[in-house]
Structure 1
Amino acid sequence: MPQYPERMIQFGEGNFMRAFVDWQLQQMNKQGLFNGSAAVIVPIGQGLGGLMAEQDNLYTVLLNGIMQEQPVNSREIITSVSRVINPYSDYEAYLALAENDELEFITSNTTEAGIAYQPGDRLEDTPPSSFPAKLTVLLHRRFELGKKGFVIIPCELIDRNGEKLQEIVRQYAAEWKLGDAFLQWLDAENTFCCSLVDRIVPGYPRDKAAELEAGLGYLDKLMVTAEPFLFWVIEGPAWLSERLPLAKAGLNVAVTDDMTLYRERKVHLLNGPHTAMVPLALMAGLETVEDVMNDETFYRFVRELLDEELIPMLDLPQEELLSYADAVLERFRNPFIRHELASISLNSISKFRTRLLPVLLRYQQERGQLPPLITLAFAALLLSYRGDLVKRQDSAEVLAVFDQAWSNPSTFAASILKEVSLWGQDLSQVPGLTEAIDARLHQLQNSGSRAALQQLVRSEA
């Protein structure tokens, strides 16, 4: 297999980055446009480093779906990962990356909760716990060595991700007293780009793994399925297109000076329905996005959510939004990939805050009432964090807040909505929201999510 020099540091070894960033590096490499690999960093204590090493950092990406009205069914072994470094077990190898002059780019996907300030992190920690603190340590080592900076492109699905990451790095630099010279180098020698990623990546095909491995002729514990569609918007300088020639390789990548339009459309019309459907569908016994789309009641929920609550709240050309929404529904129906609702549910609280809460608040302000479908989805999400109906997948801090609030069910709605740490504001001040959530919680517990939805959505007839 071809070997390439390390040109990128990648925080995150999960399914998405392997089927998105590393897959794109492979496409550039095949055309002789990049000739580089990624040194991947495990962002938390446990990761896939051992499994990657067992497979010589090779794995298969399987693309399945419809692209330009043509079926796509491709298999490709990805060779663009050079190694996986776990800073918790080999901190020196992590710091040594700062010495490599060929490294130019840093990418990341540490979930929506990853770009966050952790007050306990220190420069002396080996390593600090948060991703921004780990990055600050590496950048400071790079500065001390007198070397050039990086182009930093986070892929976390939060608004202005590059700016927020830079802000937190500067916060650590000030707190750790790293000096004005480092701050000047940080701003002058590094380019922090905001970005938006779009590719549905269901991950490891558990239900078809044995069949696929028989056809491939080898075992692959890290194979990952993805849809053929891909879109990456990078808000950065024009010269980036030459240094990272993704579009030149024929990839659907846009480098722009303003990504606002792209972000609003994607976060609210693709990610928003995902977050809304998950708790309701899981409570009804559905397992995948395709299950949702093949179920009349749940399909109507998604369609009406788009048409009546999401699209009217976006200040973008309506025809374009409707066209994009139709494309989203087609992607959701993709019969070739199994996109499990449980995988989408990771860190659902921060996802709701980013994807649906702004729409709920704007709807209430403009129309003087709450959007019924988003409100029901919100109540279902809160109920799912009780922990007995749906498996919770979130940080220990978030789960502790919910456990405390659920310790008194009679005051749960008012208590949880007041948690500024979760929502960025006191939602109990939103007119009618506490009462509406309380009523929906009782309805969901008494009659279930399907019955609750059937009262709100119109039938096909």
Structure 2
Amino acid sequence: MTQPLSRNSFPALPSYPERMIQFGEGNFMRAFVDWQVQQMNNKGLFQGSAVLIQPLEQGLGGMLAEQDYLYTVLLNGILDGRTVSDREIMTSVSRLINPYSNYQDFLALAEDDALEFITSNTTEAGIAYHPGDRLEDAPQKSFPGKLTALLYKRFQLGKKGFVIIPCELIDRNGEKLREIVQRYASEWNLGEEFAAWLETENTFCCSLVDRIVPGYPRDKAGELEQELGYRDNLMVTAEPFLFWVIEGPAWLKEKLPLAEAGLNVVVTEDMTAYRERKVHLLNGPHTAMVSLGLLAGLETVEDVMNDGVFSAFVRQLIEDELIPMLDLPLEELQSYAAAVQERFRNPFIRHELTSIYLNSVSKFKTRLLPVLLRYRKERGELPKLITLAFAGLLLGYRGDRLQRQDGPEVLAVFDATWKDPQSFVEVILQDNSLWGENLLSVPGLKEALEDGLRLLDSLDCRTALEQTIGGEIQCSDS
């Protein structure tokens, strides 16, 4: 039997001083940010590690500790025309702190002058204000609340601030995080000097992340254990493609030498064009396909792209509804869209739809709702495929056909609303907490969603898609 991954098995692996605080210990951050820290370390450019903060009371802290905070990243796919199959043990994580059980250890991070950066990925719902948070809490419920407490401790010690780079997939993530921190600072009466220190001594960057990370390869775990020669319960698969856009000052390029390490990272003064292209042409199709795919019994993104009806749905969605609503050169959009669909077909990684399904309401709000609203305004009609995807989302959140994965507040809204099926769509569209506005005012949307729900409920999902797409389907085996 193979031994578990640990430093005892690999005593020559290096260790690095802590230079980064990272909120979030999930698959994505470990295969994206921590992987990039590793690449900088490999080239002698950073020589640092990340201390992870567990954002929820239950997390991966115990499993990481059992492996001495080591884990393997498996890169599989096609990059620049060549097949990539790479395995590397990550040494870029130093430890994990669970603030729910070790809050004082969490606050003690403020004392370390070597810590310069804060990164995060607490899901799309993580950057949110929680009215019950107080400075005296140990810990605060929300990520911004915890961050505010840490920053205030840092300020009290008279130390320099941080470069803060959130990776949550929401628009202007750095700005929104800063706004919530400032709100807590005001409500907690932390003083004008702290407010000024927040503004002048800390750099909140907006960022855009792009790497498909399917996570733990359950279907190949035994085979990989034999190949690697050790057991790794936290190994994570990812595609070789990576892109990170950070909206921040030019000096950040030297302070965090990601591009110098050969990584596909852009530091820019304005990330708007990059964001729109990625959020709508990569994340948008993911969100559109996930509920419908799960309802049809599909399991992975590759399954979707290898299904004639569903691949036609994705292609038509991109060409007819997404690209026309983006203000970028058509040739650039078409090239990026072609690359996205090639990445979706990557046969080397298993990107499960259930992982994409997490927090689908906030994802739809960010990725597809703006396109739907613009399409309706400019063309005087609703985009039929996005609207059907919206209906699929609502049907999935009924809870009797799909296993919902969302916050308790969101699920409570749906559970209460579904009690009266006749008024469900009308009531749910008016819920500003879900959509950020009253969608009942969108002409024809209520009726279209009711039609879509009836269609998906009365037919199997693939037949419903065929009827919606019409004559556009060109079935194939690829």
Q: Distance in 1 between matches of 2:219 and 2:170?
A: 31
Where in structure 2 are the equivalents of 1:56-455 lying within 5 Å? 56-455=68-467
The Cα shift of 1:448 comes to 2.4
| Aligned position for 1:21 | 33
Q: Distance in 2 between matches of 1:323 and 1:452?
A: 30
| Aligned position for 2:6 | none
Aligned residues: 461
> AA paired with 1:12?
G
> AA paired with 2:131?
P
Identity of aligned residues (%): 73
The Cα shift of 1:456 comes to 2.1
The Cα shift of 1:250 comes to 0.1
> AA paired with 1:209?
A
> AA paired with 1:260?
T
SS in 1 for 2:194: helix
- Say whether residues 1:460 and 2:474 are aligned partners: yes
- TM superposition outliers: structure 1 runs of 4+ over 3 Å: none
> AA paired with 2:300?
T
Q: Distance in 2 between matches of 1:101 and 1:383?
A: 50
For residues 149-206 of structure 1, the C-alpha deviation after alignment (integer angstroms, 9 at most, x for no partner) is 0000000000000000000000000000000000000000000000000000000000
> AA paired with 2:373?
L
SS in 2 for 1:92: helix
Query: What's the RMSD between the two structures over aligned residues?
Result: 0.5
Q: Distance in 2 between matches of 1:440 and 1:31?
A: 54
Q: Distance in 1 between matches of 2:397 and 2:473?
A: 30
SS in 1 for 2:468: coil
| Aligned position for 2:9 | none
Q: Distance in 2 between matches of 1:52 and 1:437?
A: 44
The Cα shift of 1:288 comes to 0.1
> AA paired with 2:134?
R
Q: Distance in 2 between matches of 1:24 and 1:224?
A: 14
Instruction: Identify which of 39, 42, 46 aligns with 1:30.
Output: 42
Q: Distance in 2 between matches of 1:238 and 1:147?
A: 23
For residues 79-115 of structure 1, the C-alpha deviation after alignment (integer angstroms, 9 at most, x for no partner) is 0000010000100110000000000000000000000
Q: Distance in 2 between matches of 1:391 and 1:421?
A: 22
More displaced stretch, 261-270 vs 447-456: 447-456
The Cα shift of 1:459 comes to 1.9
Structure 1: gaps (5+ residues)? none
Q: Distance in 1 between matches of 2:195 and 2:251?
A: 23
Q: Distance in 1 between matches of 2:260 and 2:288?
A: 36
| Aligned position for 2:3 | none
Give the TM-score taking structure 2 as reference length: 0.96
Q: Distance in 2 between matches of 1:359 and 1:75?
A: 39
- Say whether residues 1:52 and 2:88 are aligned partners: no
The Cα shift of 1:449 comes to 1.5
Give the TM-score taking structure 1 as reference length: 1.00
For residues 127-169 of structure 1, the C-alpha deviation after alignment (integer angstroms, 9 at most, x for no partner) is 0000000000000000000000000000000000000000000
Structure 2: gaps (5+ residues)? 1-12
SS in 1 for 2:139: coil
SS in 2 for 1:351: helix
> AA paired with 1:459?
I
> AA paired with 1:97?
L
The Cα shift of 1:451 comes to 1.0
